[in-house]
Every structure is written in C-alpha cells, then in structure tokens.
Amino acid sequence: MSAPANQPAAARTIGILGAGRVGTAVARQALKAGYGVRIATSRPAEEIALLVEIITPGAAAVGAAEAAAADIVVLAVPLHKYRTLQPGLLAGATVIDAMNYWAPIDGEIDDFEGSPRTSSEVIQSFLAGALLVKTLNHIGYHDLEAEGRDAAAAGRRALALAGDHDGAKAVVAAFIDRLGYDPLDAGPLRAGRAFQPGTEIFNGAHTLPELQEILATDRESALA
C-alpha cells in the first residue's frame, strides 16, 4: 500500500556514503531497526566488500550511485572531502548531513571558516538539488548504538533535525524514531546552528522536553 498523497512514503533503505566510525555506527543501528543498508566509499564496492561484511554484517557494499538511490542517504565522509560527493547523484534525494565543522579537531577549512552560513548550508549549496536535513551530528557514534530506546521508554534521548524541506524532514524524523530516539524539528536548515560543535545541545544528551527548552531559549536569545 502506498502512502497517502499528502504524506511522504516511509523509508525502507538507507544509503551511507562513508565507512568510518560514524557511517558504520549508523549502518549497524539502521540494520537493527530493520532497514536495508547500502554502504559506499570512494573505493570500488568489491574493494570494501570484506570490510563491510565484517564491520556491518547484513549491509551491502555498493557503488556511490546505488547508495545514492536509497530512500535516505547519510553523508558520513570527512567534511574536508565533501567536494568528492557527486551532486548529480543526490539531486532529489532525502539526504542526512551527519558531518561537523570542528576546526580545533580537524583544522581550519576555508569553505567554512568565518562563513556566516552553517556548515550544512554550505553543503546544501554544493548539493543544490538534494533535500538536505541536518541531524545525527550531535550524538557520538558509540552513544548512537548504546542509547536507543523504544518510543515509550522513560527518559528517551531526543535528537534535533533541521532542514528546508518538510517532506524530507518527516521521512528523517521517522527514521530517527526507529533508531530509538525522539526526533525534534528545530526549523529551517540554518537552525542547525543550535546543535553544531560547541553548543549546549552538541555537548550533552537531552530528553525531548529538555531539547525543546534549549531550542526555545536559543530562539529567544536570537530575537533579543
């Protein structure tokens, strides 16, 4: 049965670009949640097949085009390599930006240093046709696998998301929920500034009411 015309279809497949710690943690959690998972890197699929089989059993090693054809695509490459992504493959795709610009750790990158835009706004500009949603960047990869809870669990951790496309945000919110976290729509893509490195949200774990309060305070401060 297809989804109603006014609602986005539920995602069934997750494509992950990047096989580092973040990408593989997302892959394992997505597999536990029942998704089909495809992983691609800059290397040919056959060169990463054994690695994928060992680290993320159940996921498929594929080329970038096949990963990009999944219902949701997760960007988990090192941020300084974002220009190796292929905008044409991601046009029209629901894409999660799980990357961070963190100069003290990764060094300064001219594209982001001193820019008035958030890192995700820079990525959206490069991937102009993608339906970009910022999330999964403010939870550690160990925590992602360890802290997921059923929807009815008390004290369930919440994760914020931001984006300019309501349909894509709805699809991603459902994905976050199935991973074991309460999703919270923080607003447009620029609102992702509230959970970039160095912020209260980035530096801690919060329940849904706590996250709502922090975001509300941030909005009030911005208007003051």
CATH number at residue 162: 3.40.50.720
Query: Which helix H or strand E contains 14, and what residues bound it?
Result: strand 13-17
Residue 24 has pLDDT above 60, yes or no: yes
Using one digit for the tens of pLDDT, what is the confidence trace for 92-128?
Answer: 999 999 999 988 877 899 999 988 999 999 999 999 9
Q: Is residue 113 part of a domain?
A: yes
Strands 158-163 and 131-134 turn out to be: antiparallel
Question: What is the pLDDT averaged over residues 127-137?
Answer: 98
* pLDDT per position as a tens digit, 183-223: 999 999 999 999 999 999 999 999 999 999 999 998 877 65
Q: How many domains does the chain have?
A: 1
pLDDT at 104: 84
Is 131 inside any structural domain?
Answer: yes
pLDDT at 7 > cutoff 60: no
**Quick one: what percent of the chain has pLDDT higher than 90?**
88
Give domain status of residue 139, yes or no: yes
pLDDT at 3: 42
Query: What is the pLDDT, as a whole number, of residue 218?
Result: 84
71 token code pair: 């219902």
Residue 4 lies in a domain: no
Whether 7 is covered by a domain: the verdict is no
Determine the average pLDDT of the residues in 47-70.
Answer: 97
Q: Kindly state the average pLDDT of the residues 38-44.
A: 96
Q: Dig out the tokens for 58 from the structure.
A: 């159940």
User: Is residue 126 one of the residues assigned to a domain?
Assistant: yes
Residue 3 within any structural domain of the chain = no
CA distance 12 to 3: 13
Beta strands in 64-217 (DSSP E): 72-75, 94-97, 131-134, 158-163, 182-187
Question: Would residue 6 count as lying in a domain?
Answer: no
| Residue numbers of the domain that contains 163 | 13-223
